[in-house]
Amino acid sequence: MLLLQLFIDGMASGALYALTAVGFAIIYNGTRILHMAHGAVFTAGGYALYIAVKLLNLPIAVAVVVALASAAAFGVLIDLLVYRPLRARKSSEAALFIGSIGALTLCQAVFALIFTTDTLYLRQGPLPIYDFGEISITIMHIIAAGIVIVVFPILHLFLTLTKYGRAIRALADNPKLSVVRGVNVERLYMLIFAIGSLLAGFAVSLIAYDLGVRPEMGFPVMFVSLVAVIVGGVGYLPGAAAGAFLLGLLQNLSLWQLSGRWQDVVVFGALLIFLIFRPAGLFGHMLSTRRV
Amino acid sequence: MEYFQHLLIMVLIYACLTVSLDLNIGHAGILSFGHASFYGIGAYTTAILTVYAGLDWFSAMVLAFATGAIIAALIGLPTLRLGGDYFILALFGFSLIVTSLIINMEWLTNGPFGIRGVPRPSIGPYQVQSGYGMLGFIAIMTAFIFFVHWRFASSPMKAALHAVRDDESVAMSLGINVVRTKITVFALGGGFAALCGAMGAFYFRFVSADSYGLQTIILLWAMLFVGGNCSLLGAFVGPAVLMLFPEMFRFIGGQGWDIGHIQEALYGLLLILLMMFRPQGLVGNKVGLRT
Amino acid sequence: MTAVLDVKGISKRFGGLAAVDNASFTVEEHTITSLIGPNGAGKTTAFNIVSGFLKPDFGKVTFAGQSIEHLEPHDIYRLGMARTFQDPRVFQEMSVLDNVMVGVRQKGETPFWAIVRGAEVNSQWKAARERAEKILESVGLLARANEAASALSFGEQRFLSIARALVGEPRIVLLDEPTVGLDRGTFGQLVELMKNLVSKERKTILLIEHNMDVVMSISDKVVLMMQGTTVASGTPAEVRSHRSMVEAYLGKRHVAASQ
């Protein structure tokens, strides 16, 4: 019974990781930027929700829309202010990565300066819980499942049916293109960052409402998402989602035998094992790393 | 005066860390995110060997170097053949695992409380006690480490490293064993970072897990890129600027603001601006960042 | 004449496609052998197999009596085989002289000897520099030894890459389309250089070349590859008279011109 409970918890956190992981993967596949600042985008969404709920007293549904829009805007802003100038200078991927680390560090510090390092809570008291024998399911489990069931099919339809969605996929196949299906790539980048950040916004809305907001909350989530992308296989979005569920399960099922403080070792141990023995991930094809 | 001494010692220790990071990143193009972990591994090895095992400081320091180098070689063996982003991630994961292990392996590391009472170095009957004595010790170690790195950068080793960094296939076609070169230089970086850890442990007489985590990695990268790649002078300039710059805020009086966060914000901003306007660093050579 | 390089029945598949399919040829010492054939015939893949960058699925490569098909590129270089790539691929930010010196393997490039030095390390290093300067002189780049390689023109970079391959004093040099992209003046200079390498320096050259005038004028032997396999080999005259092959590959115009 404990195992089943852990399985359900694992699927719920897997769903949240899947949202950030697929968001990260869309950005990585299209731009080849190791977008560490995705963590800052995530946190920005959390603080936007906090402001909307606690300071502006907006109804929660409106507040979530504000949080989603803020996350998307924040992601686009980082692209415009950090990555675009670097691209314009033909910077190397390493320089973009360092710029991204810089953006993450800067944002975390600014959040800490504005909001302090304390956890800010959006609600009090226990959440509604539905008990089925020894298994209990919270409202958050249900919402997480609901979001994934609604959002991923919409995303799939967007990427396969619309002009812009197809352009994003074409760019992922060949990131060196400058014009894809008549769409200017710089503009496509904005769309890519908006969508990727929007997905993170969904995840953070749930987590922030449930557990509160802290300046560095985005980092571990971003990092697990990144691991999920690797485990699932770079270049294949369902792979990133599958990797996210796998990691969510792994994290929670490891609680069966290990205490929670070993979770980092479990997750990153899985990363190292995958990188060493199956760098292509579960489903993906590896980026070519050696040229003759 | 004592505070000035402290700052100077910190600048020297960070300069040693930066120059060894530069050996990996600048000369060999190995974007190591594990450097702070090797620093921590060296500090903990020193503390455990001296405090728990009662070993003398010099043997502990040598063993710290060896431990750092061996662990770096072992982690580099499977990961260095991975491509750029994969390698960065693998080392990122490695560093988080190291932090987690330090906190969780209480029987060895005393967990989150750290290890206290690391002895100061001694030479014969003379034990280094005063701040000046410690400054002298650190300065001698710094001179040694910089001498070694100067030898590397002024020998045929430099050309071989740069060849591997710039074009692995061509390097291979010219008889360079690329895999062995990369593992060797990565192990050296790990060893020297661990040596810096030993220096820090002797100075602070205390080690704890939170000194060797993500913040330290970012600080080290910022120091390297502020100073500039492939430059011994840059390895001094970066740490000096980043250690002394925040001190100004103390005097300007950032009342009510958390100095630590202002510092972090500045590091972040500095990294972005450097990448945009001066990727070669303040005094680095003409070569920009590549790979 | 003895064969210094003996390639026997090598094959290499990528996915389902056979890039090289049962190709065999030999290269005799102190000669120039040209590998010719249409694009996609597998010439560069054969080069990559011989130089150790690719492991063949089948077949043997024997160099100076030693079987090398399982060796890594750096080991093969140390046995005395050097190669260039289709692009010059010089190290852009190194000086011209440093570029050449990368080709010299020496004791001082290992960390321990880099620190300790000593007479042997220093004399090796000095010898390497002298040899690099001598080779730069022979390709006409000595005056620019201290400039960054990126300052050189494309043609000069091509010469630099050849100098870099020669500095380790290999027995055999593999040159992958060395004349592509050269103007008329440097073109003639390169042909002279290759002739001198064989006649004066007693080197052996294996060449991939598309320019038939070069092939016919300097080769001691021509090997024709088509669809991954070697279909003919012999002196330029023999290959020229191999009429169906000449028509298929060289085109009718050449046949007419040669009659």
Q: What is the pLDDT of residue C203?
A: 95
According to the model, what pLDDT value does residue C258 have?
44
pLDDT of residue A114: 94
| Residue-wise burial string across A241-268, b where 16 or more C-beta atoms lie within 10 A, e elsewhere | bbbbbbbbbbbbbbbeeeeeebbbbbbb
C109 and B156 within 8 Å at the Cβ level: the answer is yes
Using 50 as the pLDDT threshold, list the residues of chain B that sit under it: 290-291
C contact test, residue of A285, A288, A292 with most C CBs within 10 A: A292
Higher-confidence residue of C85 and B266: namely C85
pLDDT for residue A258 = 84
**C-alpha angle C77-B189-C125 in degrees, rounded to nearest 5:** 40
| Residue C73 predicted with pLDDT over 90 | yes
| Residue A118 counted as domain residue | yes
Q: Which pLDDT score is estimated for A83? A: 96
- A275 in contact with B at a CB cutoff of 8 Å? yes
ipTM score:
0.92
Residue that the structure tokens 């043609």 belong to: C155
More confident position, B203 or A286 = B203
Write out pLDDT tens, residues A157-177.
Answer: 999 999 999 999 888 888 777
Domain count, chain A: 1
pLDDT tens for each residue of C229-244: 998 899 998 887 775 6
Distance CA B213, CA B34 (A): 9
* Range in B214-218, C56-60, C122-126 the model is least confident about: B214-218
Q: How far apart are CA A292 and CA C176, in angstroms?
A: 13
Continuous H helices in chain C: 43-50, 73-78, 96-101, 111-116, 119-138, 154-166, 184-199, 212-218, 236-241, 243-245, 252-258
Q: Give the domain C3-90+170-258 fold.
A: Rossmann fold (3.40.50)
Write down the pLDDT at residue B257.
66
The model's pTM is 0.91
pLDDT digits (tens, 9 = 90+) for B221-246: 999 999 998 999 999 999 999 888 77
Q: Rounded to whole angstroms, how far apart are CA atoms B145 and B151?
A: 10
Which site among C77, C115, C171, C176 would you substitute to test the B interface, given the most B Cβ atoms closer than 10 Å to its Cβ?
Answer: C115
Top-confidence residue, B85 or C147: C147
Q: Is A292 on the interface with C (CB under 8 A)?
A: yes
% of chain A residues with pLDDT over 70: 97
CATH number where A35 lies? 1.10.3470
In percent, the amount of chain A with pLDDT more than 90 equals 58
Q: What is the pLDDT of residue B291?
A: 40
**Averaged pLDDT, A179-185:** 79
Residue C58: strand pairing partners: C11
Q: Closest to A268 (Cβ–Cβ): which among B93, B225, B269?
A: B93
Chain A hits for C48, CB-CB cut-off 8 Å, are: 292
C92–chain B Cβ distance below 8 A for any pair = yes
Mean pLDDT of C191-218: 93
Q: Cα B182 to chain center, whole Å?
A: 18
Q: Is C133 exposed, middle or buried (0-12, 13-18, 19+ CB in 10 A)?
A: middle
Strand spans (E) along B106-254: 115-116, 122-123, 126-127, 206-207
* CB proximity under 8 Å: A 226-245 to B: 226-227, 230
Q: Is residue B239 within 8 Å of B11, Cβ to Cβ? A: yes
pLDDT of residue A289: 36
Mean pLDDT over A216-234 rounds to: 88
pLDDT for A84 beyond 70:
yes
Average pLDDT over every residue of C81-109:
95
**Residue, of C245 and C91, whose pLDDT is higher:** C91
Q: Residue A123's CB: how many other CB atoms inside 10 A?
A: 14
For the segment C9-37, what is each residue's pLDDT rounded down to a tens digit? 999 999 888 999 999 999 999 999 999 98
The residues with which C207 forms a beta bridge, in sequence order, are: C34, C175
Task: Identify the closest residue of chain A to B172 by CA–CA distance.
Answer: A292
Among B259, B272, B287, the strongest candidate for a mutation testing the A interface, having the largest count of A CBs within 10 A, is: B272
* Chain B residues 118-177 with CB within 8 Å of chain C: 148, 151-152, 155-157, 159-160, 162-163, 166-167, 169-177
Q: CA C19 to CA C42: how far, in whole Å? A: 5
Chains linked to A by 3 or more Cβ pairs within 8 Å: B, C
Where are chain C's structural domains? Answer: 3-90+170-258, 91-151
Determine how β-strand B206-207 pairs with β-strand B115-116: antiparallel
The pLDDT, as a whole number, for residue C162 is: 97
With CA atoms as reference, report the closest residue to B191 among B13, B59, B72: B72
Interface contact flag, B163 C105, Cβ < 8 Å: no
| H/E segment holding residue C26 | strand C17-28
Q: Which domain holds residue A174?
A: 2-277
